Structure 1
C-alpha cells in the first residue's frame, strides 16, 4: 500500500536515463524505515451480569502512530473501534481513541490492519469476564453470540454484519479438538504438576473493503473480460494480487463460467498501460469486489456470445449451455458448436445477429453495497513448563467461515500463513526501541520470527455462510488467520497458568516473560 521516497526516485531516474535502475535496500534499512504495525496500549472495562451476559464494553485506545503519517496511518486504529465487539451482542459501547505521535517509525496496515487489535481486546476480555463470573470460556461465548436469524445485524459501532452463524463454526472447532475431553485431561495433568492450557478465540472481521462512501478514495473495482478470435479469454483486472492467488482463482471462475479449460484463460494485472482502473488489493477485497466486477463483465460477454451461437444454430439463447469447450442446446448435446468457432465468427462479423455489434468484450465497474464479514473459531492447546517458561504448542484447530470457497488449496495457504504470522506476534516478534528512540531489533539477529520447527501442524476446516453482498457469496480470507490466532495463543498460555493466578501477560510471550509472570503471581 505504501509508497516510499526511494521508489519514486528510482522510477524518475529510470525515465530520465531511459535505462533500468535498481535500488536495493539493506535489511536494517527495511526494519528502520518501513512501516510497523499493532502498536497500541488499551485500557478496557467490560460489564457482565452474573449469568454471563455481557452488557457493555468501554475502552481507551492509545495508538502509536509513529513520527509521521504513511498512507493509512491514522485510519488503521479506527478499524479497531469498528470491530471491538467481535462476535458478540454487546448493546453498549464507549471508545476513546487517542492517536499518539512518537519518535518511532510510522505504523500502518499490517496483515489485519486494526482488526487483530480489536479481536485481541474482546477475546482477552471475554476470557477475563468468564473467570470473573465462574463460567467456562466456551459457555460465555455461546451465551453472547447473536442467532443466525438476526442477520443482517447492526452493531453499536455503526456497521452492519452481512451474515453469520457463529454457533456452527464454534461447535465444529470444539468437536474437532474434543473440548470436554481436553478439560478432563487438563485437570488430570494439573494433579501431576503439569500445566495444559486451552485457548479460544472466536472472531469476526470486516473486509471486502468496498462501499465508496466509507472509503478514503473509492471502494469500487473494475474488470474487462475479452474473448479473443482464437477462443482464448483475456481478463484484465484492477486488483493486483501479490500472493493471494487471484491469477489462479480468477482463471478458475472464468473457465467455469464459459465451460473452457483453465489454461485458455489469461489473467493480467498490474500493468497500468493496459488495465482498467482499480482501487487495489488490501483488506481482503480482491475477490469479493474485484472478482465480482469480473464475474458481472463475464456474464455480459456470455450473454452476447449466446446470441451469436443461437443465431447460427437457430436456437433460443436461453436454451444454450456452455461446457467442455462447446455451446449446445440444453438436453441435446449433439446440437452444438465449438466455443472457439463462435469467438471467431463474432470477430469476422459476416453473419451478425440483429442489433448486435462485432466482438466479445465487456468492462464492468462494481460498487458493493456493504463490507463483508468473515468469522470463525480458533482453539489452541499448549503445555507450559513452569520452571523455564517454555511453551509447547500441542494442537492448533481453526474453523473459518469465509463464505463460498473458490479454491480450497489457495484458502488453506492463506489461513496457514495468517496463523503463522499471528503466532509470531503472540510468541516472538516485537520492534523494541531504547529510551532515545534507537531501534534495537534492526535485523533478524534481534527480531525473532517463528522458524518452521516452532510452527505446529494446523488442523483447518470451514463452514459456509454465503455473503449476500456479492453474487458469488464470498467474503475474504487473506487476513483471517492473523486475526484469530494471536488472542487464541495468549488465552491458551494464560489458561495454562491460571492455577498460579496469572491473568495476563504482555506480548510477545517469551519464556522469560512467562517465567516472570509465574514468579510475580507467586509473590
Structure 2
C-alpha cells in the first residue's frame, strides 16, 4: 500500500509555503523484485519540501537575489489564511513571516554570512542553508481517508474522584501518556497524579484509528476534551442540586463548583454520582463519557530551519556547525515533549541527507541490509540545536493544536541540503541529489575544481558574490527584533 501512497502526500504539499498558481505532478510506479517501501518519518512531506526549497535556492542563485527575500516575496501573509493552494488543500492558519524572522534572529543570520565570507577568503568550504516549511498533519477527515479518519476517547471520573482516560490512539514514544494526562488534569482541575491514561488494549479501548500522520494528540486529544466537556456539563447539574443553586450560577475552578459562598469538589461529586441517593431527577448515575472526533480539515504546522556546514576538502565530509529550528505547531501542551519530537526529527533528516542509502548489487541482492553497511548518524554527527517556536492556533480543533511528530524531519532535509550546496557554490556545483555522502561530495569537489562533468555554474557567475550581510540588511532582517 505505502509504496504508491506516500508520493501522493508529496504531491499534496509540493507548493510548500508559496503562492503557486498551478502545479502538476506525475507519479510513476515500477514493479521490481526488490523490497517494497514503507512510510518513513515525514512520509512524503520531506521530499516535497526538499524539492520546492532546493528550487527556490536555485532561483535565488539565478536571479542573484537573497534567498530569504525570494521566500518572503512569494509567501502568503497571515491575513490570507485560510489559504487555498494549487494542490487542492486549504491551509488552516499561518504566519510564515514570524517563524522566518525569529529563526534568522536566533541564528544571527548576518553573522553567519560574515563567517561564510571569511571562510571563503581562506579557501574553506562553508555554507548556510535556510528552509521554511509547511506540512500536512492530523490526517483525519474521513472523506479524505481510505476509511474512517476519526478518533475515539473515553473519560471516567471514578468513585474515588480520580480520573481514567482511555484513548484509541496508541503512543509509541510521543509521550501521550503525559500530554493526555495533562489535558485531563487541567480541564478537570485535579492533580496530574490523579489521572491514569490507558491505551493499546482493545479490551479497554474499544475503538481507535491509531497513531500516524502526526494525528494522535490533535485527534485523540480532542476526543478526550469532548469527553471532559460532557462530564463537566453533567456534573454541573449534580453540583447545582447538591448546593441548592441554579446551574448557571455555578463557576468551576480548581476542580470545584462554587456559588454563593458554597462549593463542592470531585471528592464529594463522584461518590454522589455513583451512590445515586442524592441526585437530580432524570440524572443518569456515573460520570463517564465517550466521544468520536471527526475533524473538518487537516492541520498545517510550519516553521523555518537554518543550518551552517563546513566541508572537509580532503574527505568530502560535511559537518553541521550550527542548527536552528523554529517550529509552529500551535499552542504547546508540553513544550518538553515538543522539543524532543523536533530534535528526533532533525536527527532523522541528518541521516536522510548525509548518510542513508539502500544499495542493491547487479543480482538484486541487498548489500546494505545491516547496520554495519547501512550508515546512520552517530552521536558525534548530531550538532547542538537551538530551538524556538511561534504560536499560531489552528481553527480545526478546540485546543488549536497542529501536531509536531514529523516537523523536524520535514524542515531539516532541505535546510541541510541547501547548506551543503551553498558550501560547494564557489566550485560551481549547482546541485547534487541525496544522499550527500562524503564520497559524492568529494567527487563533486574534484570535478568542480577543473570543471569536469555534472551540472556546473558558469565560471563568470561563480566569481560574483552570491549575497552578503550588506545585501540582507534592508530586506531580510528589517524586523529582526521580533
Give the TM-score normalised by the residue count of structure 2. 0.91
Contact kept? 1:240, 1:281, Cα under 8 Å = yes
Whole-angstrom CA distance in 2 between matches of 1:103 and 1:520: 35
Q: C-alpha displacement at 1:325, in angstroms?
A: 4.3
> 1:57-456 maps to which residues of 2 (within 5 A)?
71-329=1-259, 335-456=262-383
Q: C-alpha displacement at 1:72, in angstroms?
A: 2.9
3-state DSSP of counterpart to 1:418: helix
Matched residue, 2:472: none
Whole-angstrom CA distance in 2 between matches of 1:368 and 1:458: 33
Q: 1:70-129: per-residue Cα shift (whole Å, max 9, x none)?
A: x43321110000000110111121111112222221112111111111011111111111
Contact kept? 1:236, 1:276, Cα under 8 Å = no
Whole-angstrom CA distance in 1 between matches of 2:343 and 2:299: 21
Does residue 517 in structure 1 map to residue 447 in structure 2? no
Q: Which has the higher strand share?
A: 1
Whole-angstrom CA distance in 1 between matches of 2:67 and 2:191: 49
From 421, 428, 433, the counterpart of 1:494 = 421
3-state DSSP of counterpart to 2:25: strand
Whole-angstrom CA distance in 2 between matches of 1:245 and 1:320: 35
Whole-angstrom CA distance in 2 between matches of 1:378 and 1:411: 15
Contact kept? 1:220, 1:289, Cα under 8 Å = yes
Q: 1:459-503: per-residue Cα shift (whole Å, max 9, x none)?
A: 111000000000000000000001111111110010011000111
3-state DSSP of counterpart to 1:376: strand
From 460, 464, 470, the counterpart of 2:391 = 464
Whole-angstrom CA distance in 2 between matches of 1:268 and 1:403: 25
Whole-angstrom CA distance in 2 between matches of 1:259 and 1:318: 19
Contact kept? 1:226, 1:362, Cα under 8 Å = yes
Q: 1:265-295: per-residue Cα shift (whole Å, max 9, x none)?
A: 1111111112131111100001111111110
Number of residues of Structure 1 aligned to a counterpart in Structure 2: 450
Q: C-alpha displacement at 1:328, in angstroms?
A: 2.6
> Which shows bigger deviation, 385-394 or 431-440?
385-394
Q: Which runs of 5+ in 1 are unaligned?
A: 1-70
Q: Which runs of 5+ in 2 are unaligned?
A: 452-482
Q: 1:320-376: per-residue Cα shift (whole Å, max 9, x none)?
A: 3444443333xx6x5222312100000000111133111111111111000000000
Give the TM-score normalised by the residue count of structure 1. 0.84
> Which shows bigger deviation, 211-220 or 97-106?
97-106
Whole-angstrom CA distance in 1 between matches of 2:81 and 2:391: 15
Whole-angstrom CA distance in 2 between matches of 1:238 and 1:91: 39
Contact kept? 1:381, 1:394, Cα under 8 Å = yes
> Which shows bigger deviation, 298-307 or 386-395?
386-395
Contact kept? 1:224, 1:297, Cα under 8 Å = yes
Q: C-alpha displacement at 1:228, in angstroms?
A: 0.9
Whole-angstrom CA distance in 2 between matches of 1:157 and 1:264: 46
Does residue 484 in structure 1 map to residue 385 in structure 2? no
Whole-angstrom CA distance in 2 between matches of 1:280 and 1:74: 21
Whole-angstrom CA distance in 1 between matches of 2:328 and 2:160: 39
Whole-angstrom CA distance in 2 between matches of 1:74 and 1:97: 8
Inter-CA distance 413–318: structure 2 relative to 1 (3 Å threshold): farther
Q: C-alpha displacement at 1:416, in angstroms?
A: 0.5
Whole-angstrom CA distance in 2 between matches of 1:471 and 1:310: 26
What's the RMSD between the two structures over aligned residues? 1.2
Whole-angstrom CA distance in 2 between matches of 1:103 and 1:501: 38
Whole-angstrom CA distance in 2 between matches of 1:191 and 1:422: 30
Whole-angstrom CA distance in 1 between matches of 2:47 and 2:33: 22
Whole-angstrom CA distance in 2 between matches of 1:237 and 1:510: 42
Contact kept? 1:260, 1:323, Cα under 8 Å = no
